[in-house]
Amino acid sequence: MLLDNRYTELTKAIIGCAMRVHTELGSGFPEVIYQRSLAVELKQANLKFQGEINLPVFYKQINIGSRRADFLVEEHVLVELKAVNEITEAHHAQIINYLKAYRLEVALLINFGEASLKFKRFLHNPPH
C-alpha cells in the first residue's frame, strides 16, 4: 500500500523520533521503556500526541467498546510499539485490524527489539 502524501512528513517525523530512542537505548528493554522514551522525543519534536489512549472499536458502524493504543499522533497516525525479536505477519494483521476497527487511515508499527530499529507503515482506505 502506498502511503498517502498528506501523512508522509508526519510519519517521517515519528520514525525519526523512534530512531533517536533506539540510537540512545539500543534493544533489550521492555516496551514500556521505549514508550516513555518515545513520548519524550515526540514532545521535543513538538508533535501533538496521546499515549496509552483508549480508542473506540467499531463493528458494523457500531461502537462496541475500546482498546488501548500506544500512541495517536496529531489525531491521525496510530503508532503501535513492540520490543520483540522479530515482527511477524500476526503483528501486521493486528495493525490492519486496528486501522479498520478504529476508523483510522494510517499506522506505524515500530519494533525496538532488534539490533536496528524496524518499522512498517500501513495505510487503510475505508470504503466511502
Given a cut of 70, whether residue 86 has pLDDT beyond it is: yes
Per-residue pLDDT band at 1 (split at 50, 70, 90) = very low
- The reported pLDDT for the residue numbered 2 is 46
For residue 61, the domain's CATH number is: 3.90.320.10
- Domain that residue 67 falls in: 5-123
DSSP secondary structure string for all residues of 22-84? HHHH-S-S-HHHHHHHHHHHHHHTT--EEEEEEEEEEETTEEEEEEEEEEEETTTEEEEEE-S
- The reported pLDDT for the residue numbered 117 is 96
Whether residue 62 is contained in a domain is answered as yes
Whether residue 128 is contained in a domain is answered as no
> What are the tens digits of pLDDT across the range 91-117?
999 999 889 888 899 999 999 999 999
Closest C-alpha to 65, from 97, 101, 103:
101
The pTM of the full predicted model, rounded to 2 decimals, is 0.88
Q: In angstroms, rounded to a whole number, what is the distance separating the alpha carbons of residues 66 and 17?
A: 27
- The reported pLDDT for the residue numbered 98 is 87
What is the count of structural domains for the chain? 1
Whether residue 35 is contained in a domain is answered as yes
- The reported pLDDT for the residue numbered 20 is 98
- Mean pLDDT (the chain) is 90
